[in-house]
Structure 1
Amino acid sequence: MADLLVVENLSAGYGKAVAIERIGFSLKAGGALALLGRNGVGKTTLLNTLIGVTTFKGGRITLDGADVTPLSPERRARAGIGWVPQERNIFASLTVEENLTAIARPGPWDVARVYQMFPRLRERRSNMGNQLSGGEQQMLALGRALMINPKLLLLDEPLEGLAPVIVDELLAALRRIVVEEAMTAIIVEQKARKILPFTDHALILERGTVSFAGPSAQLLEEPGALEARLGVERA
């Protein structure tokens, strides 16, 4: 299967500061990448650079054979990059259904399909965004990103701060989206063991550069690999 995303020697930051440097990787269509690392190593900056909201320092981003490096965030979204930020950024004064349809684009993902994935959203379709729980807002943010029918889905710590029962529900949805639906995705997550089982490859950042790139299974199978690279405790 051909590469959908190719990142070459990518450097970016904020203002004069450089936060990521000479990052390179590729992702095949239908593949899922776990983007890992300690806090402050550049994971969110990398996602922000892919959507075009950082200060570009150099490199190239190719999506589905087209160079999207010079494109604005709006044009990158139209080119097929969907984004679920940490802050969720749902429209607080719109209903659930209005949130979903506000930026919808034609394709296989529609309101009915999102409701099938997240029955909670169907039940609350007339509720305003600010009337939802944190978990429901995260489901809405994910559903809204799917509604643009992206080629590439970026998720920035989708499980952060959620109750265990909601984490399990979202994990089941993510597994379905990336495994059964074959959505190409990059997932940033502190709970590495939660997402490694259903991602194909993993990238670990350290001080803005790549310190590991390889199969997700390798990190799960090698004794102490995650502990050594991420400073996490063995589950």
Structure 2
Amino acid sequence: MAELLRVDKLVAGYGDAKVLALVEFSLEEGRSLALLGRNGAGKTTLLNSIVGVTTRHSGTIHFASRDISRLPAENRAALGIGWVPQERNIFRSLTVEENLTAIARRGPWDTARVYGMFPRLKERSRNLGNQLSGGEQQMLAVGRALMLNPKILLLDEPLEGLAPIIVDELLAALRNIVTGEGMSAIIVEQKARKVLPLTDEVIVLERGGIIYRDTSIALLASPETLEKHLSV
């Protein structure tokens, strides 16, 4: 498989503050990565750096064989980087359907496919964003990212604060997207045992650097390593 994303010796943060220290990894097309670590380890900063909303001090980011290190965030999205931030960032004053179509790009993912994956959204297609529950807003955020028809999907703690039944629904959808559809993805999540079965590879960050990398299966099979790095 061809390489889709490569991060080389990345040092990045916010303003003068450096959060990431010489981070290096790559991801092939069709592969998925769990990005784990304790609070403050730099997980969100790494996603934000790929998206293009941090300060890059040194190092490079290549996506689809192109150096995107200096590209503005909107140009990176146009190249095929779909992002679901912690804040979800849906348009609260627009309906569900308007949220989905406002930034849609041509491709296999359309409103019918998103509604098929998230029937709750179809039922609430005329509801405003601010009329949805937290779980429905998260589904909408994922659906909106899919409507960009991205080459890679970046999800920042998609299960945070959700009721167990919604967590199960969202995990089923993500499993379909990642394993069924073969979409490349990087998933940041505190619930390691929930996300590892969905992904091919795993990276653990600590203090802005990578301290562990292996297959997701290998980490799941090693409770001692999980406890050591994540205290789970």
Normalising by structure 1, what TM-score? Answer: 0.98
Measure how far apart 1:54 and its partner are: 0.5
1: distance between equivalents of 2:215 and 2:70? 31
1: distance between equivalents of 2:7 and 2:90? 28
3-state secondary structure, aligned to 1:122: helix
2: distance between equivalents of 1:57 and 1:214? 27
Measure how far apart 1:8 and its partner are: 0.6
Give deviations 1:1-47, integer Å, cap 9, x for gaps: 11111111111011111000100101110100000000001000000
Give deviations 1:53-101, integer Å, cap 9, x for gaps: 0111111111111111110000000011000000101000000000000
3-state secondary structure, aligned to 1:155: strand
Runs of 5+ unmatched residues, structure 1: none
Q: Runs (4+) of structure 1 moved beyond 6 Å?
A: none
Q: CA RMSD in A?
A: 0.6
2: distance between equivalents of 1:119 and 1:94? 19
3-state secondary structure, aligned to 2:223: coil
3-state secondary structure, aligned to 1:127: coil
Which residue of the partner structure matches residue 138 of structure 1? 138
The 5 Å alignment of 1:113-192 reads 113-192=113-192
Give deviations 1:137-194, integer Å, cap 9, x for gaps: 0000000000000011100000000000000000000000000000100000000000
2: distance between equivalents of 1:90 and 1:108? 22
Give deviations 1:99-138, integer Å, cap 9, x for gaps: 0000000000000000000000000000000000000000
Aligned-pair identity in percent equals 67
2: distance between equivalents of 1:16 and 1:214? 32
Which residue of the partner structure matches residue 227 of structure 1? 227
Normalising by structure 2, what TM-score? Answer: 0.99
Runs of 5+ unmatched residues, structure 2: none
1:20 aligns with 2:17: no
1:31 aligns with 2:31: yes
Letter matched to residue 156 of structure 1: D
3-state secondary structure, aligned to 2:186: strand
Letter matched to residue 208 of structure 2: G
Measure how far apart 1:223 and its partner are: 3.4
How many pairs align? 232
3-state secondary structure, aligned to 1:224: helix
Which residue of the partner structure matches residue 207 of structure 1? 207
Letter matched to residue 68 of structure 1: I
Which residue of the partner structure matches residue 193 of structure 2? 193
